[in-house]
Structure 1
Amino acid sequence: MSHAPGDIHRILDIMARLRDPQSGCPWDVKQDFASIAAYTIEEAYEVADAIDRGDLPGLCDELGDLLLQVVFHAQMAQEQGAFAFGDVVDAISDKMIRRHPHIFGDVSADDAETVLRNWEAIKREERAAAGETDASALAGIARGLPEWQRAVKLQQRAARVGFDWSGPEPVIAKLHEEIDEVRVEFDAVAADPDDTAAQDRLEEELGDLLFVAANLARHAKVDVGAALRRANHKFERRFRAMETMAEAEGSALAGQSLDAQDAYWNRAKQAERET
């Protein structure tokens, strides 16, 4: 295989060879759409992580990993006679032209909000042309999305028809209400751990709490995924600092009392403030 740098056919040929039933890689050959789907999602998150860290060389590498997932799925589809990589390229190219009539057509759109409204209208037309009969404002929101992301999309769609709070204050009030309801169900479960109905109610109320928290982030124009990633990074950074502190003092963090561990946590927080 001889290709010029940057030639997409190089990775296509590599994947075709990896998937060859006789001489390919045993691991690659045994994969199917379902087994690869989890890797596709994981690589998308790796891309987001590189962006969060401002790591452009890492972003280049992670985008390559994500592209590999597209190539992998396209190769498997081609083997089944469904479609090939070229069809994927044509489909997205046609979609981008179709959904940007203000660029490639004679529609006017002077701001981002108008572009989004036109985009959604075109998507509805596409679904109708495909025979979809669901006319709900919530139609077309993928069920395979991470649930926090789907929650925000549901809220955004509802807001477009006016079903939304006027601002963050009533959302904060609702958040406090949901916390109180969660507390009630926690008490019920604590009183009778075998009460499955109470466990179900607790799960439901916790779901409501998370849904409202996502709504608050939306009103604050904060990306929920970015906020969670930031919180995760902060927790991991501080916890690792706790472990380092304990080790430097000749002990392990594990096995220490919660009060002792909490003291390490506070020291880790203070060290961050001083840097």
Structure 2
Amino acid sequence: MTDHDSNSGKHADSVTQLVKLMACLRDPVHGCAWDRKQTLPSLTRHTLEEVYEVIDAVEQGSPDKICDELGDLLFQVVFYARIAEESGQFDLSAVADAIVKKLLHRHPHIFPDGNLASFGQPSLLSPEEVERNWEKIKNAEREAAAPSGESVSVLDDVASAMPAIERAGKLQKRAASVGFDWPQISQVLVCLQDEIAELQEAIATADTQEQIHELGDVLFTCVNLARHLKTDPESALRQANQRFENRFRKIEENARQAGSSVADSDAATLEQYWRAAKESEN
């Protein structure tokens, strides 16, 4: 037995134990009242919380914390599958089979015959080429799945419930996959400058709805700029949030040391504290 086979067996045993545990928690007689009460819709908010906790753990860089939070997220997947299995919709095996089939189909450069047995041939594709091929394959899948005669858009199935920043990037990426995109970063910067100018005009008119409209366009263009910079806008904003939090806490501390508070400090003093907080980062 190879190390790969041994690890696969260990993974299977661990997942089997988790599936059994989930069945016990959902047992109608001896199970947990809270777990039995849950439905597919009721789980969604918990799933979002677990996803964010995984991201926090990754950013903290603690392997133990990442492992713990990934376990919580895996439990969510098993939970959904168990509820669906009880109503005869699908089970965890169907979930795993579906993703295996999907990944085999979307990685022809790794599995040329569309099965695991064809693995082992070297791939010369760059990450950028792989990403472009991925989008082309997904577009073809959408067209193949559409009912006869029904029009298909590359923007189909971009979930409306996604966070706005993430959805903006997804929409832009889909459009770019069929050639609708600025070829140069400089053009995106010009577009951003134009959108800011339009926002300034809207502010001058005092038209609230127009201001919201133009601010949305500015934010959408910022996401587009991040995509061209090959930077995740959500990650960039999270880092900016952290920088602001760190600096503001230093401002609060400086105010306390001066025997005052942020609320009681004048604008010039707060600006001085802010600059000091920024300089301390360097």
- Aligned partners of 1:149 and 1:235: how far apart in 2? 21
**Normalised by the size of structure 1, how large is the TM-score?**
0.83
Q: Is the 8 A contact 1:141 1:153 kept in 2?
A: yes
- Aligned partners of 2:43 and 2:85: how far apart in 1? 15
- Aligned partners of 1:4 and 1:97: how far apart in 2? 20
Aligned to 2:6: none
Aligned to 1:193: none
User: Percent of counterpart pairs with the same letter?
Assistant: 45
Q: Is the 8 A contact 1:109 1:115 kept in 2?
A: no
Deviation at 1:109, TM superposition (A): 6.2
Decide whether aligned partners of structure 1 residues 271 and 121 sit closer, same or farther in structure 2, where only a CA change above 3 A counts.
Answer: closer
Of 223, 230, 234, 1:221 maps to: 230
Deviation at 1:22, TM superposition (A): 3.9
Aligned to 1:231: 240
Q: AA paired with 1:60?
A: C
- Aligned partners of 1:118 and 1:172: how far apart in 2? 27
Decide whether aligned partners of structure 1 residues 173 and 77 sit closer, same or farther in structure 2, where only a CA change above 3 A counts.
Answer: same
Decide whether aligned partners of structure 1 residues 259 and 31 sit closer, same or farther in structure 2, where only a CA change above 3 A counts.
Answer: farther
Q: AA paired with 2:247?
A: R
140-149 or 211-220, which deviates more: 140-149
Consecutive unaligned residues of structure 1, counting only runs of 5 or more, are 190-197
Decide whether aligned partners of structure 1 residues 256 and 226 sit closer, same or farther in structure 2, where only a CA change above 3 A counts.
Answer: same
- Aligned partners of 1:167 and 1:88: how far apart in 2? 40
SS in 1 for 2:110: helix
Of 162, 174, 184, 1:167 maps to: 184
- Aligned partners of 1:6 and 1:268: how far apart in 2? 52
CA offsets 1:144-189 (integer angstroms, 9 cap, x no match):
3222122122222222333222312222122122112212222333
Q: AA paired with 1:146?
A: P
**Normalised by the size of structure 2, how large is the TM-score?**
0.81
Aligned to 2:168: 151
CA offsets 1:87-140 (integer angstroms, 9 cap, x no match):
211111121122222222249763334433432333234334433544323333
Kindly report structure 1 stretches of 4+ aligned residues shifted beyond 4 Å: 3-6, 106-109
- Aligned partners of 2:265 and 2:32: how far apart in 1? 48
Aligned to 2:58: 51
- Aligned partners of 1:254 and 1:75: how far apart in 2? 52
- Aligned partners of 1:99 and 1:156: how far apart in 2? 17
Decide whether aligned partners of structure 1 residues 119 and 220 sit closer, same or farther in structure 2, where only a CA change above 3 A counts.
Answer: closer
SS in 1 for 2:125: coil
Q: AA paired with 1:35?
A: S
Aligned to 2:250: 241
Establish whether residue 140 from structure 1 lines up as the match of residue 140 from structure 2. Answer: no
Deviation at 1:239, TM superposition (A): 1.6
Alignment of 1:183-262 (within 5 A): 183-189=200-206, 198-262=207-271
Count of residue pairs brought into register by the alignment: 263
Deviation at 1:70, TM superposition (A): 0.8
Q: Is the 8 A contact 2:202 2:211 kept in 1?
A: yes
Aligned to 1:192: none
Aligned to 1:34: 41
Consecutive unaligned residues of structure 2, counting only runs of 5 or more, are 1-9, 115-122
204-213 or 179-188, which deviates more: 179-188
Relative contact order higher in (CA < 8 Å, ≥ 6 apart):
1
